[in-house]
Amino acid sequence: MYDVYKIREDFPILGREVYKRPLVYLDNGATTQKPRVVVDSLVNEYYSVNANVHRGVHFLSQQATELHEASRETVRRFINARSISEIIFTRGTTESMNLLAYSFGEAFLKDGDEVIVSVMEHHSNIVPWQLLQSRKNIVLKVIPMNDKGELLMDEYKALFTEKTKLVSVAHVSNVLGTINPVKEIIKIAHGHGVPVAIDGAQSTPHIPVDVQDLDADFFAFSGHKIYGPTGVGVLYGKEDFLEKMPPYQGGGEMIQNVSFEKTTFNDLPFKFEAGTPDYVATTGLAKALDYCSALGMENIAAHEQELTRYAMERMHQIEGMRIFGEAKEKDAVISFLVGDIHHLDLGTLLDRLGIAVRTGHHCAEPLMRRLGIEGTVRASFALYNTKEEIDALVAGIERVRKMF
């Protein structure tokens, strides 16, 4: 039984007020709130375990290392990777994508090679490839979409040439909510012998992810978007690829032996983890993933799907409503504009009613250009949101609409 009201009690912040109104937090695509178990784990680790990991012989260091490495196993289980060697801790999806672009680029790309992305990518799956272009003259090819926000699969198939070396696409769009058919995208790419990287920042918190079932070659996500702490994320990569890729950063932890003449690198995944990791955050991330697993990702998905269905139905009834993203497979994100009200005005006035939404281009400027707009208001849902909160959003929009 999924009891959303009971679940909300795990998230103290949801009980607060803003502008003397109950907080309605609908900015979960940007970051999610944290359950008590996550925050408690951060406090407890700092108060009773804290020591630098991996390097110490003393008790605390070993205990901290055990917690950190147990978290890696929790991540492995959560996304069903084959081995903990395939789980690299990063600062978040952005760092994961930069690591990938740098390191995969060094190992596998040469001038003239092509990387396929989609028109709905977040900047963190565009700009790292462009940074690579300053070192290697690679070509970015873009999968287009239809007006509902669904990728055009025939056009995608037509983009492959003998120079295609990687496909890198979002699992779920942070603007449109489209759940892209990544399993099919991967199958098609593999048919051409091309590996695929998935930006899972917006899918991992909402739908079950199984990297082996998807057969993804790389998969990135952020801890803070899945009820975990900020400053921690993951890059999953198949061992075969990771073994052949050079380190992204140099420093402590990532080496086997260092001399001024020659340095040898550590085994996976440490080769990619230079310096002191945020080991307290990795423990918090593991607690967040365990929290989601205990609720059941299928149950979370079902709850959020119902919220999305309800919100779409209600919001469509608002006069002048324009919703961007009407894909058949849609996740808990609704981007919209109402009449000619500027998104910033709408967002600001909703805020005064206690409703937190995001406004702007959502780090997806090429997508905004494709939609022919500057920005949208975005409401994004999480496992703790309720239909009453959607009613509050709808009432808020109506109120603002009448003001204009």
Least distance from C-beta 20 to ligand PLP, angstroms? 30
Tell me which amino acid residue 238 is: K
Of 214-243, which residues contact ligand PLP (CB under 6 A)? 222
From the candidates 363, 370, 374, 401, give the one annotated as an active-site residue. Answer: 363
Least distance from C-beta 325 to ligand PLP, angstroms? 13
Residue whose C-alpha is closest to residue 272's, from 235, 301, 300, 303: 235
**Residue 201 interacting with ligand PLP (CB under 6 A):** yes
Contact string 161-200 vs ligand PLP (x = CB under 6 A):
---------x---x------------------------x-
Least distance from C-beta 360 to ligand PLP, angstroms? 11
Tell me which amino acid residue 245 is: M
- Residue 40 CB-half CA count within 13 A: 9
Tell me which amino acid residue 120 is: M
Least distance from C-beta 224 to ligand PLP, angstroms? 6
Residue pair 291/38 in contact (Cβ under 8 Å)? The answer is: yes
Of 81-140, which residues contact ligand PLP (CB under 6 A)? 92-94, 122, 124
**Residue 34 interacting with ligand PLP (CB under 6 A):** no
Nearer to ligand PLP by C-beta: 33 or 222?
Answer: 222
Nearer to ligand PLP by C-beta: 92 or 396?
Answer: 92
- Residue 232 CB-half CA count within 13 A: 26
Residues in the chain: 404
Nearer to ligand PLP by C-beta: 76 or 91?
Answer: 91
Of 251-310, which residues contact ligand PLP (CB under 6 A)? none
Cα–Cα distance measured from residue 282 to residue 289, given in angstroms and rounded to the nearest whole number: 10
- Residue 27 CB-half CA count within 13 A: 19
Residue whose C-alpha is closest to residue 200's, from 217, 220, 184, 185: 220
Which residue has tokens 């996740």? 331
Longest dimension (CA), the chain: 72
**Residue 149 interacting with ligand PLP (CB under 6 A):** no
Outline where 317-386 has alpha helix (H): 343-352, 365-371
Nearer to ligand PLP by C-beta: 199 or 278?
Answer: 199
Least distance from C-beta 209 to ligand PLP, angstroms? 14
292: annotated active-site residue: no
- How many C-beta atoms lie closer than 10 Å to residue 274's C-beta? 17
Nearer to ligand PLP by C-beta: 74 or 125?
Answer: 125
Cα–Cα distance measured from residue 210 to residue 225, given in angstroms and rounded to the nearest whole number: 18
**Which residues lie near ligand PLP (CB under 6 A)?**
92-94, 122, 124, 170, 174, 199, 201-202, 222
Catalytic residues: 363
